[in-house]
Amino acid sequence: VTTRSVNRKTFIIRSAIALLAGVSGAGLFGAAASGASTDYKRLTEDDWRKRLTSEQFVVLRKQGTEFAFSSPLDHETRPGTYSCAGCDLSLFSSKTKFDSGTGWPSFWAPLPNAIETSVDKTFFEVRTEVHCRRCAGHLGHVFDDGPKPTGLRYCMNGVALTFRPGKP
């Protein structure tokens, strides 16, 4: 084995490692891995603009509301889990989803330790705003006209959620 072939092997191995690191960082494991380690509450507005689509940014970071009946997730009925589009935290199970007829994906309960609420006094009425526990991204509102067993209706913006089909 000559020095030259050793160097070449080293180069190939290094390239392979770099490639794997790139794939795992940005692809397959990106959301889950960065989800746990990133301090989302310290991200700046510019950071969020880079991470999100413009629609996601307006809803999650500017308390926007998507048009009713605009989200494909409104009609999603497969078993699975709905996660935050900002930080990938699991927020809702398909088991608590129901058709509210409002045009927004609706649930009667969130997953444990997934969301937080605050009082929203915009639009001349007092509503309860719902946001992600981990990244504080705005998700929607919760109302007390939902179905049993909770009587709650979590009215969510579909653009603030990602859906992963599978065992809920």
Contacts with Zn ion by CB under 5 A lie at 84, 86-87, 89, 132, 134-135, 137
The least CB distance from residue 152 to Zn ion, in Å, is 20
Nearer to Zn ion, 38 or 128 (CB): 38
Q: Are 128 and 168 in contact (CB under 8 A)?
A: no
Q: Which residue has the tokens 């007829």?
A: 101
Largest distance between two CA atoms of the chain: 79
The least CB distance from residue 36 to Zn ion, in Å, is 12
Residue 93 C-beta-side C-alpha neighbours within 13 Å: 8
Nearer to Zn ion, 7 or 53 (CB): 53
Burial label for 61, CB within 10 Å (0-12, 13-18, 19+), is buried
CA distance 137 to 115: 10
Nearer to Zn ion, 14 or 162 (CB): 162
Nearer to Zn ion, 71 or 83 (CB): 83
* DSSP E strand stretches across 66-144: 80-84, 90-93, 97-98, 106-107, 115-120, 127-132, 138-143
The least CB distance from residue 146 to Zn ion, in Å, is 22
Instruction: Name 57's Cβ contacts closer than 8 Å, sequence gap at least 6.
Output: 48, 49
Q: Examine the residue annotation and report whether 155 is marked as an active-site residue of this protein.
A: yes
The least CB distance from residue 60 to Zn ion, in Å, is 8
Tell me the catalytic residues: 155
